[in-house]
Amino acid sequence: MVDLVISEVKFDEDLVVSVFETNIRVLGGLLGAHSMMLELAKQATRWPNATWARSKLLHQYHGELLDMALDLGNRLLRAFDTKTGLPYSRINLKRGLDAKSRASDATCTACAGTLLLEFAALSRFTGDPSFEIAARGAMEALWKGRRNDLVGETINITSGRWLRTDAGVGAGIDSYFEYLLKAWIMLDDPVYLDIFNQHYDAIMRYMRRGPFMINTPINNPGSMARKFMDSLQMFWPGLQVLKGDIEPAIETHKMYFQLAERYGFSPEAFTMDLKIHWGNWPLRPEFAESTYFLFTATRDPYYLRVGKTILDNIRKFTKVKCGFAAISDVRLKNHEDKMDSFLLAETFKYLYLLFVDPKDLLFNLDEYIFTTEAHLLPVANPGPASYNLAPFDRVVLQSRQINVHDHACPNTGQWSGGFAYGISRGWLGGPWGTCAKYSAPRKSNSTRTVQMRIIQSDPQPYTGRYIPPEELDLSKPLHVSFLKSINIYIQKTDEGVRLLFQAANGDDKIKAVESKGLAYIKKLIELQETQKRSEEGQERGQVSLKIVDSKDGVIAKVEGGPASFGPNLDDIYRIYDGDLVLSSDLDGCSPVPENQYLGRVVLVRRGGCMFIEKVRYAEAAGANAVVILNNRAVSDSHFTMSGDGTDDVSIPSVFISQDHGAALEKQISIASDKLRAEVSGTLFSRLNS
């Protein structure tokens, strides 16, 4: 096969191709095959009598595949001739950027963000840094465009603006995240881990709903962008294994398996009740890929059974005379005349690796990284001595400091966050094998990694009554003690309250407590879902804020986000007003002397504590209303501030954008006289103007 590729494949064709597909399938294929030729040549000395070790091809190989890769790489590189560093999505292999390839200045996030592994490998194999520099530049441009730490699906390569603003872990974006994490592993560059972790945090916060990963708009994170999921996201649990966050991976993978069991294959898109949205299955690898990674982490034979189901169904329903056919509807199991290259490159490779005894592999897989097309590229290849990394020093991808837990592998952060009921337990202690092999060498010189802890639960003594979920009131200490007794802990964030279930791995008594805790969490989730459904019909509208100067009258009018607590201004025809004052401690998270805000409207910044806590403190000090300023540069006038389950405030609050907030703070500082603020429902405010 290699000799056929060398003699037959030419790239000097007047043909417009996708930069992304050509990179992952062709360039990655050439570089992967080149890596394997080098590896086999090395192994041949250990197995001198094996037939493959004596093959003429192996002994006569002089890097022809790499020459071809360099030729192709130079052709693809021409797509990067843009102001932003984001490449055009298509290129003419012979002519470069021709009219057809320039016709669109839109590209998908995955298209621009899935080049770095192949381009860096090409650079390091050849000693020419231009490829790695270009691919790093594209990563940087995507990172710069993030909103709420999320990225959209399509971006304009000239302006760097998002064209489609839905974020997800599936189609259009998937492998951008994959390449961030794998770039850290392959290039040993921690900046990519930081960036990945920052995205990961937002993804898990805004997209995860139980086992489901739901697309969300980047400007209104947390809401649902659509009601179905695409099957490309099924690679995600595999990536979570690499990150070391095994528990949600197990849970989501189980949901995918239910689909595969129900329909034989994973339909291209499906809904939260596991119904089909798009019914085709083009022989995709993602589910097998996650199954393989979870097996490496857990060694749980359950994954072998999953793999067998996949394999049996492929054999039974897709095999045709000259290959395997894509399925056009998983319900009917009818065929399409199509077999994509990823069936061989990925689907079969992952299935083979799932079942193979590692002893039978010729070389150590851990020295390689799988590209998104499952080609193998060497990890930490420093390149020839002449390879100059200096240009990368200029590429500083600013990222914020993140939690030490995010750098631990396995992830030591939130052990279980509430949705983990029903997951298999066989993995405790297991994931070391997978992630330690990448992170261990870095531990000695990193101050951020922490040792893994398997939490040994110790239930708290509690003698009170069982508190039914519908009566639960987190402001009551007794209820909190009850939760602790079943291993549920409360975490307050500025987004709301989170209940964390702490997993146990101890004796039977602890396990019994654990199962009570899981059952309780499950009931709470069901209750919450029911409440959410009934609240959906009664969402609150925006809130109007007017700033009035005693001389000039109304000097500013803003519409901001409502709170889910306090009076519902949609139904109240009155204005809550008062002199506008800045909170004494900017974020308003501590008690204020009585009457300090009497009759006033208080301005506080987001962060530091929950929204409702700020409002409670202000009300206790006599305030008439609270204005909360966003501390992030995003437009979120539709954001609704959540409470903590106890609605005990009677003054309204309004959430306004960072821009409006900065302007307001400035106005207060320069105003010669006192400013007044008026807070009311928008309808009422419009009727009155």
Instruction: Output the smallest distance, CB 342 to ligand DMJ, in A.
Output: 4
250 binds ligand DMJ (CB under 6 A): no
Instruction: Output the smallest distance, CB 183 to ligand DMJ, in A.
Output: 15
342 binds ligand DMJ (CB under 6 A): yes
232 binds ligand DMJ (CB under 6 A): yes
DSSP tag of 288? H
Nearer to ligand DMJ, 175 or 252 (CB): 175
DSSP one-letter string for 497-523:
EEEEEPP--S-HHHHHHHHHHHHHHHH
349 binds ligand DMJ (CB under 6 A): no
Beta bridge partners of 679: 545, 576
Main-chain dihedrals φ then ψ at residue 46, nearest 5 degrees: -80, -25
Instruction: Output the smallest distance, CB 346 to ligand DMJ, in A.
Output: 6
- Residue 394 amino acid letter: R
Tell me which of 132, 149, 268, 406 is the catalytic residue: 268
Structure tokens given for 531: 């409440």
Q: Has 21 been annotated as catalytic?
A: yes
Q: How many angstroms separate the CA atoms of 203 and 208, rounded?
A: 7
Q: Are 391 and 129 in contact (CB under 8 A)?
A: yes
Interaction residues for ligand DMJ, span 17-46 (CB under 6 A): 24
Q: Are 164 and 153 in contact (CB under 8 A)?
A: yes
DSSP tag of 223? S
3-state class (DSSP) for residue 150: strand
Q: How far apart are the first and last CA of the chain?
A: 77
253 binds ligand DMJ (CB under 6 A): no
Nearer to ligand DMJ, 162 or 342 (CB): 342
Tell me which of 21, 188, 494, 665 is the catalytic residue: 21
Instruction: Identify the residue among 298, 372, 487, 637 touching ligand DMJ (CB under 6 A).
Output: 372
284 binds ligand DMJ (CB under 6 A): yes
Instruction: Output the smallest distance, CB 114 to ligand DMJ, in A.
Output: 6
Q: Are 489 and 502 in contact (CB under 8 A)?
A: yes
Interaction residues for ligand DMJ, span 158-187 (CB under 6 A): 174-175
For residues 419-446, one letter each, b for 16 or more C-beta atoms within 10 angstroms of the residue's C-beta and e for the rest, the string is: bbbebeeebeebbeebbebbbeebbeee
Nearer to ligand DMJ, 285 or 307 (CB): 285
310 binds ligand DMJ (CB under 6 A): no
DSSP one-letter string for 161-192:
-EEE-EE-SSTTTHHHHHHHHHHHHHH--HHH
Structure tokens given for 538: 């009664």
Instruction: Output the smallest distance, CB 311 to ligand DMJ, in A.
Output: 17
Nearer to ligand DMJ, 285 or 431 (CB): 285
Instruction: Output the smallest distance, CB 117 to ligand DMJ, in A.
Output: 11
Instruction: Identify the residue among 32, 87, 285, 622 touching ligand DMJ (CB under 6 A).
Output: 285
Tell me which of 118, 128, 174, 406 is the catalytic residue: 174
Nearer to ligand DMJ, 341 or 481 (CB): 341
Main-chain dihedrals φ then ψ at residue 279, nearest 5 degrees: -100, 0
Instruction: Output the smallest distance, CB 91 to ligand DMJ, in A.
Output: 18
Q: How many angstroms separate the CA atoms of 185 and 16, rounded?
A: 33
Beta bridge partners of 603: 582, 627
Residue nearest ligand DMJ, CB atom distance: 372
Q: How far is CA 505 from the centre of its chain?
A: 28
Instruction: Output the smallest distance, CB 283 to ligand DMJ, in A.
Output: 8
Nearer to ligand DMJ, 290 or 439 (CB): 290
Contacts of 567 (CB under 8 A, 6+ apart): 650, 651, 652
Instruction: Output the smallest distance, CB 427 to ligand DMJ, in A.
Output: 25
Beta bridge partners of 625: 601
Instruction: Output the smallest distance, CB 409 to ligand DMJ, in A.
Output: 23
Cβ-in-10-Å burial (0-12, 13-18, 19+) of 319 comes to exposed
230 binds ligand DMJ (CB under 6 A): no
Q: Has 286 been annotated as catalytic?
A: yes
**Which region, judged by CB under 6 A, interacts with ligand DMJ, from 56-64, 200-208, 222-230, 281-289?**
281-289
Nearer to ligand DMJ, 174 or 619 (CB): 174
Contacts of 262 (CB under 8 A, 6+ apart): 274
Q: How far is CA 667 from the centre of its chain?
A: 39
Tell whether omega for the bond before 48 is within 30 degrees of 0, i.e. cis.
no
Instruction: Identify the residue among 140, 149, 373, 577 touching ligand DMJ (CB under 6 A).
Output: 373
Nearer to ligand DMJ, 342 or 482 (CB): 342
Q: Has 268 been annotated as catalytic?
A: yes
606 binds ligand DMJ (CB under 6 A): no
Beta bridge partners of 92: 16, 96
- Report which of 271, 149, 160, 171 is spatially closest to residue 221, judged by C-alpha positions: 149
Q: Are 190 and 198 in contact (CB under 8 A)?
A: no
Nearer to ligand DMJ, 26 or 623 (CB): 26
**Which region, judged by CB under 6 A, interacts with ligand DMJ, from 97-105, 192-200, 278-286, 493-501?**
278-286
**Which region, judged by CB under 6 A, interacts with ligand DMJ, from 279-287, 362-370, 408-416, 478-486?**
279-287
DSSP one-letter string for 465-501:
----GGG--TTSHHHHHHHHHTTEEEEEETTEEEEEE
Number of residues that bind ligand DMJ (CB under 6 A): 10
- Report which of 40, 42, 57, 51 is spatially closest to residue 5, judged by C-alpha positions: 57
- Residue 155 amino acid letter: I
DSSP tag of 27? I
Nearer to ligand DMJ, 285 or 567 (CB): 285
290 binds ligand DMJ (CB under 6 A): no
**Which region, judged by CB under 6 A, interacts with ligand DMJ, from 126-134, 282-290, 301-309, 582-590?**
282-290
Determine how β-strand 90-92 pairs with β-strand 106-108: unpaired
Structure tokens given for 356: 């193979």
Tell me which of 189, 194, 251, 286 is the catalytic residue: 286
| Contact pattern from residue 468 through residue 507 relative to ligand DMJ, giving x for each residue in contact according to CB under 6 A and a dash for the rest | ----------------------------------------
Nearer to ligand DMJ, 189 or 373 (CB): 373
Q: Are 66 and 31 in contact (CB under 8 A)?
A: yes
280 binds ligand DMJ (CB under 6 A): no
Tell whether omega for the bond before 469 is within 30 degrees of 0, i.e. cis.
no
Instruction: Output the smallest distance, CB 234 to ligand DMJ, in A.
Output: 9
Instruction: Output the smallest distance, CB 437 to ligand DMJ, in A.
Output: 22
Nearer to ligand DMJ, 174 or 644 (CB): 174
Nearer to ligand DMJ, 21 or 201 (CB): 21
Structure tokens given for 499: 């209940």
Instruction: Output the smallest distance, CB 424 to ligand DMJ, in A.
Output: 26
Query: What are the catalytic residues?
Result: 21, 174, 268, 286
Residues at the interface with ligand DMJ (CB under 6 A): 24, 174-175, 232, 284-286, 342, 372-373
